[in-house]
Structure 1
Amino acid sequence: DISIIICTFNRYVKLKKVLNYINELIVPDELKYEVIIVDNNSNDKTKGIVERFIKKKPQIFKYLFEQKQGKSYALNSGIKNAHGEIIAFTDDDVRIDRKWLFVIMDAFKRYDCIGVGGKILPMACPVTN
């Protein structure tokens, strides 16, 4: 099982894009996953955007509000509420490859590891596999 944690602060437009990418993920049949969006005290439309995704997939998307300002507070709040054996962090301004969950699962199956990382490419670079 994987918990995906996304921390955000006043970036609802970018957050909406990354949540759409997550909706397009190819998910292995045996995988259970959740997406925890931690709102780090936003005063924009962040909560409303997340609620739309929760309405469509309440078993997947979760909303947390972290009043203490700072990414470390938001991340720790997400971790405390995560149910997955694996925790995957991503940001609110990225493009996620559709095979991202497959790659994460494969790394943990193939290697004796406690963590993995990946490439971060500028948005202008095409993603090729």
Structure 2
Amino acid sequence: MDFTVIICTYNRAGNLPRCLEALARQRGVGDRAWEVLVVDNNSTDETPAVVAELADRLPIAIRYAREPQQGLNHARNAGIRESDSRYFAYVDDDIVVCEAWLAALFDAFERNDADAVGGRIHLDPAVRLPKWIRADAGMYGFLGYQDFGPEPERLDGVRRYPFGGNMAFHRRVVERIGYFDPKFGRKGAGRRRSELYKGSETEYFHRLAATGEARIFYEPRAIVYHRVLPFQLRKGYFRTIHFNAGRQRAYHDETDFPHRLFGAPRFLYPQLLRAAGRYLWQVATRGPDWAFRQQMNVAYLAGSIVGYRRRAAERG
């Protein structure tokens, strides 16, 4: 098998027909052998039946696997274990790929001898974004949007790397750095506060970049469209993913900070106060919608303090 497209899903059976039907419309792949693998992360809805119906109806190879351990990175790792393709890609179940998507990924891997490739992620054109989600403040990225421009380029894997909704790897990457770290990432459907985490692929790309020989490329022809759900267009969603991101990063940070206060690095407290002050100033001068991006920074710093304190309490 040349390529496996892995879709990790949990209790979102309704998303699968649109996602898989788009994959069935791929063009330009030629005689390369490829398949779709749906990894069911212990769903309780009709996901198995929906996958079975689509496998019978669509003219592409579709397989089903179940991963009982809850968590996006557990599901991603199950997809790696259940496939033996030279290349494997991940798309989310709320993604619709363009017709040239797979051919573009094949071309990028073969042209660049790439370890990893990512493409554009655009928001579904039907989505109407509230005014406080500002493109000039980089907020589209928190809805999965990614576009590095019209030209292919090599990415460093640290500051610039593919997002999880549209990323692909050569199997040698797993042989080199292993699997995704299950400590990171979303648990469940991502609707409850405790489940909301973004960017669980970040650690993986940082680990790949740390080898010093990572060949990570951006391929603009590999375009997908992300369907944003209503709960993701609320301010509480943005606050929560930032709070949880700070908490998660801090909890797993191994840095030995010499000066701590209540378990957290002392410098974080004045940082939090300054960020809160900037937020209040922006509310007064520009209004709460414009200032919301700064409120997200406050949430991240507050989460960081909570994460460090929790880690210190558990370690005594």
Which structure shows the bigger proportion of residues in helix conformation?
2
Q: Could you list the structure 1 runs, at least 4 aligned residues long, displaced by more than 6 angstroms after superposition.
A: none
Residue aligning to 1:53? 54
Partner deviation per Cα, 1:45-68 (whole Å, 9 max, x = no partner): 111110012224697110001111
Look up the equivalent residue of 2:85 and give its one-letter code.
Answer: G
SS in 2 for 1:120: strand
Partner deviation per Cα, 1:69-100 (whole Å, 9 max, x = no partner): 10111111110011210011111001100111
Range with bigger deviation, 51-60 or 85-94: 51-60
- For the structure 1 residues 119 and 59, does the alpha-carbon distance in structure 2 shift closer, same or farther, using more than 3 Å as the test? closer
5+ long unaligned stretches in structure 1: none
- Conserved 8 A contact 2:4-2:85: yes
CA distance in 2, matches of 1:34, 1:52: 16
Range with bigger deviation, 18-27 or 36-45: 18-27
Look up the equivalent residue of 1:100 and give its one-letter code.
Answer: W
Look up the equivalent residue of 1:44 and give its one-letter code.
Answer: D
CA distance in 2, matches of 1:82, 1:58: 20
CA distance in 2, matches of 1:28, 1:58: 14
CA distance in 1, matches of 2:56, 2:125: 32
Residue aligning to 1:62? 63
Q: Which structure is richer in relative contact order (CA contacts within 8 A, separation 6 or more)? A: 1
Look up the equivalent residue of 1:103 and give its one-letter code.
Answer: A
Residue aligning to 2:12? 11
- Conserved 8 A contact 2:24-2:59: no
TM-score (norm 2): 0.38
Indicate the percent of aligned positions where both proteins have the same amino acid: 34
Q: CA deviation at 1:112?
A: 2.6
- Conserved 8 A contact 2:17-2:54: no
CA distance in 1, matches of 2:22, 2:67: 24
CA distance in 1, matches of 2:56, 2:31: 24
The higher radius of gyration belongs to: 2
RMSD: 1.7
CA distance in 2, matches of 1:47, 1:11: 11
